[in-house]
Every structure is written in C-alpha cells, then in structure tokens.
Amino acid sequence: MHVSVIGNPDDTVVVTVRGNLDLATAPVLRTTLDQVLDRPHPRVVVDVSGVGFCDPAGLGEIVSGHRRAAGSGGWVRLAAPGDWLPGLLRTAGPMPALGIFPTVADALAAGL
C-alpha cells in the first residue's frame, strides 16, 4: 500500500491511498491520519480510488479518523470508493455519518 498527503491552500488535506487497505496495512493509514488530524478543525478527504480491496480494519481506521476529526470540529470524508464499499458496509454494520463522495472534488466542494 502507498499513502500520499497533499495540503491545499484552504487548509484541507487530501490523503490518497493506493493498493489494499487491510489488517496488515491499516497501521500505515492510522499513522498518516494521526499526523494530519493533529491540528484544530481538521478537514481531510481520504481518496480511495486506488484501493482494490478494503477490509473492516481498513475502514475502521477511516471511521476512527472521522470520529477524531468531528471531536475537534472538523471532518474526514471518503472519496471515490470502488465496488468493494457496499459489501464492506453490509459486513461492518452501522457506521457513523461518514461523508462518502464520488470524487475528491465533490468531497472538497461539499462545504467547509
């Protein structure tokens, strides 16, 4: 798995994930989210357009980041999930109100 981070002039951050997001690789995402969420009112889009597979551990890191950001007055949004998301959501059960968008641009444009 590969993770990259791009900061934007409006103080939003896009975290792009490529590869499989699973129990073995989720700690890499956790470490990255810990770094970008360590600010007041964090606003983060996690671009998963390049993720071919995600298990509950991977999704759990995104949800955990969402909860942490919300607790600081910010948000984490999920952008461009693949066909794996509906099945994973059925398996994982009820999730908090995580914003899911078809593209990174849509997630960023949804309002700050």
- CA–CA separation, 42 vs 58, rounded Å? 20
> Which two structure tokens, joined as six digits, stand for 24?
């073995």
Please provide the size of the chain in residues. 112
**Residue 17 included in any domain:** yes
Full domain range(s) for residue 9: 2-97
What pTM value is reported for the model? Answer: 0.91
In a domain, 102, yes or no: no
How confident is the model over 19-69, as pLDDT tens digits? 999 999 999 999 999 999 998 899 999 999 999 999 889 988 999 999 999
Q: Please give the tally of structural domains in the chain.
A: 1
**pLDDT at 104 exceeding the cut of 70:** yes
Q: In this structure, what are the phi and psi dihedrals at residue 83, rounded to the nearest 5 degrees? A: -65, -15
* Within a domain: 88: yes
CATH number for the domain spanning 32: value is 3.30.750.24
Please check whether residue 107 lies inside any domain of the structure. no
Strand partners, 3: 17
- Rounded distance, CA 40 to CA 3, Å? 22
What pLDDT does residue 30 have?
97
